[in-house]
Amino acid sequence: MKSREQEYKEIFISEALEYFDALNRHISTLEKNPEDDQILAEIFRLLHNLKANAKAIGYLQISDLSHKLETAFELVRKRELTFSNEIATILFDGIDLLGELITNVDDPNYKILDESLIHNLDILADKTSSKNLTEVSKAQKVNARNLSLSDLIYIQIKKLDHLLNLVGELIIDRDRIISLSKDLNNEDLKSVSSHLYRITEEIQFSVMDARLVNVGSLFNKFPRIVRDIAQAEQKEIQLDIIGQDIQIDRNILQIITDSLLHLVRNAITHGIEKGADRERKNKPRQGNLSLSAQSDRDNVLIRLSDDGRGIDIPAVKKAIVARKFLSFEVVDDLRESDILSYLFEPGFSMAKEVTEFSGRGVGLDVVKNAIDSIGGRIQVHSEKDKGTTFTLHLPTSIAVKGALLFEVEDGYYAILLMHTDSVVSIDKSELHEVGNMLVANIKNETIPVIYLREFLNNDDATMNLGSKARLNGSVQNIIIVIYNNRRLGLIVDKLYRQQDIVIKPLNKPVDNIEIYGGVTLLGTGKVCLVLDVPAITRYFIVKK
């Protein structure tokens, strides 16, 4: 596997060679039309980018030469240097030398053949020099090299999306063939299906790997953003960025961009206090914001932490009651994690009281919806005057996801592992009827439990989720799912296994049933519905 440094170097060389070809093309055009300001601006932009990229990766010779060429073209752009044939020759020589340096970055023995090329550029760039163009040395040409193409190519994301969809179809067919080989008990078919399994695994890995990008490509945009917002808010803020090298599907990073920006703005605007307020609380005048990424099995965790005032829990309780989500008596008994979960409810964001008292809640439902759309989840933890942390649990891939398979009344279902907290088996006697619902004490936590057979097969009028009499058997298999800081137990008939699945959207007219997030085909050819945990949790909250 390539090191990150090797990957960065290959990307740099690929882009630099593109710049080199573009510079040659543009200077040729400029020779025919020296007054074309648009071409001059493009040449200047290419040299400026090349200089910055080379300096960032440590190729100082390329950076220095780009700077000299940039200076010369700046004089041309300002009409302080006439773009004559003689000047064009010197600049072409400089561009050729640039190409030599780019193609020889890996050669430790490479030396510039003729230093007069650089000397000539120095004469051009130094408008105060007493020397004139007659003193320009005749440089030894370096452009007698063979033409070569880059080892890297750019691929449009939509082409990779299409390729990954085809891989998904291949995986479904592969599982079907493996299942058939077992049913037919044919040794040759078993051998072929085993080879097919290995090949598809490798294809899947390769396609998914091609879509991975470093989260640093997003994180590195935030220092400037934080600086601008902090200045506007008249606050002093230090931003720490950790884990830029963690890789994630490019589409997932694209989808969470606005959400992360929203959270950062909220943290600076409402979370971190102004310097004077922090000093009154014996805190450093400068606030701290931390943006980090880490791998967690098949997921990526992105955390945004601030050391600000934290979320005002009593104020959020008042807002919950004021918005008529719950009564005061019910809110008073809620755990802190349940209270914080209401920050993500639609309608809560419009509460002026939340901004005034807690400083949080504006638009967090939009953030949650974006995370939901990719099968992720978001958690929030806050301590008064110590700060707030938002944790985004994100899958590394959109198309292929880990899921837990189970059966309810002869039907096959799946729940994404992202939303699966744990699986327990408890005796029926450990379930308790409370009002119109069942609850169980699991791991010292009282968790509401619903009987999926009842939930999936009955309408609102006949559904009775609080009746133990409707349960089958004495031992109940329960999948504990988690969403938006809330845990919910789902009683299922049979538990099967964990499996990577490819989720396909439902067709009309069943595509508007909210509790189903899609469908997949199992190796046996059976249709398996994928339950939408966020939708079920929302439904349950409304029922409650």
Residues of the chain with CATH 2.40.50.180: 401-543
User: 4-126 maps to which CATH number?
Assistant: 1.20.120.160
Q: At what angle do helices 85-103 and 116-125 cross, to 10 degrees?
A: 130
Per-residue pLDDT of the chain (544 residues; tens, 9 = 90+): 456 677 778 888 888 888 888 898 888 888 888 888 888 889 989 998 899 888 888 888 899 999 989 888 888 888 887 888 778 888 888 888 888 888 888 887 888 777 777 787 887 777 655 455 566 555 555 545 556 666 667 788 888 888 888 888 888 888 888 888 888 888 888 899 899 999 998 998 888 888 888 888 888 888 888 998 898 888 999 999 999 888 888 888 888 998 999 899 889 988 899 999 999 999 999 999 999 999 887 789 999 999 999 988 888 888 888 877 777 777 787 788 888 888 888 767 544 444 433 444 447 888 888 888 888 888 899 999 999 999 999 987 776 788 899 999 889 999 988 888 899 999 988 988 887 788 898 878 888 898 998 888 887 777 777 788 888 888 999 999 988 778 889 999 999 888 888 888 787 777 778 888 888 888 777 889 999 888 888 777 665 5
User: Most distant CA pair in the chain: distance in Å?
Assistant: 103
Tell me the sheet residues that pair with 481.
420, 488
- What are residue 199's DSSP bridge partners? none
Of the candidates 513, 496, 484, 488, the residue with the CA atom closest to the CA atom of residue 403: 496
* Residue 125, C-beta contacts closer than 8 angstroms, at least 6 positions apart: 68, 71, 72, 75
Task: Give 485's contacts (C-beta < 8 A, 6+ positions apart).
Answer: 337, 338, 340, 341, 379, 380
CATH, domain range 157-211: 1.10.287.560
Helix, strand, coil percentages, rounded to 5, for the chain: 50, 25, 30
For residues 74 and 47, the answer to whether their CB atoms sit within 8 Å is: no
**Helix (H, G, I), strand (E, B), or coil: what is residue 30?**
helix
Contacts of 265 (CB under 8 A, 6+ apart): 229
| Residue 289 CB burial class (10 angstroms; 0-12, 13-18, ≥19) | buried
| Topology classification of domain 401-543 | OB fold (Dihydrolipoamide Acetyltransferase, E2P) (2.40.50)
CA distances from 264 to 24, 363, 476, 498, 520 (A): 43, 13, 43, 35, 37
Give the C-alpha separation, 289 to 308, whole Å: 9
Dig out the tokens for 226 from the structure: 């934080």
Cα separation, 207 vs 163, in Å, equals: 7
Range list for CATH 1.10.287.560 in the chain: 157-211
Helix and strand numbers (H, E) in the chain are 18, 18
Token pair 């605007």 in the structure block, residue: 269
One CATH from 3.30.565.10, 3.30.1360.120, 3.20.20.70, 3.40.50.300 for 213-395: 3.30.565.10
Rounded Cα distance, 362 and 354, in Å:
8
Query: Which residues make beta-bridge pairs with 303?
Result: 292, 391
Reduced to 3 states (helix: H, G, I; strand: E, B; else coil), residue 346 is coil
Q: Which of 290, 299, 305, 205 is nearest to 247 (CA)?
A: 299
Give the phi and the psi of residue 470 in degrees, each rounded to 5.
-85, -10
Query: Strand pairing partners for 405?
Result: 414
Q: What is residue 148's predicted lDDT score, i.e. its pLDDT? A: 63
Contact of 249 with 397, CB cutoff 8 Å: yes
What's residue 328's pLDDT? Answer: 78
Q: What pLDDT, on a 0 to 100 scale, did the predictor assign at position 286?
A: 94
pTM above the 0.85 mark? no
Q: How far apart are CA 543 and CA 171, in angstroms?
A: 38
8 A C-beta contact, residue 416 and residue 434: no
Q: What is the pLDDT of residue 529?
A: 92
Provide the 3-class DSSP secondary structure of residue 455. Answer: helix
Domain with CATH 1.20.120.160 in the chain: 4-126
| Structure tokens belonging to residue 222 | 């935030």
CB 253 within 8 A of CB 295: no
Closest CA to 380 of 343, 422, 419: 343
DSSP state, residue 396: S
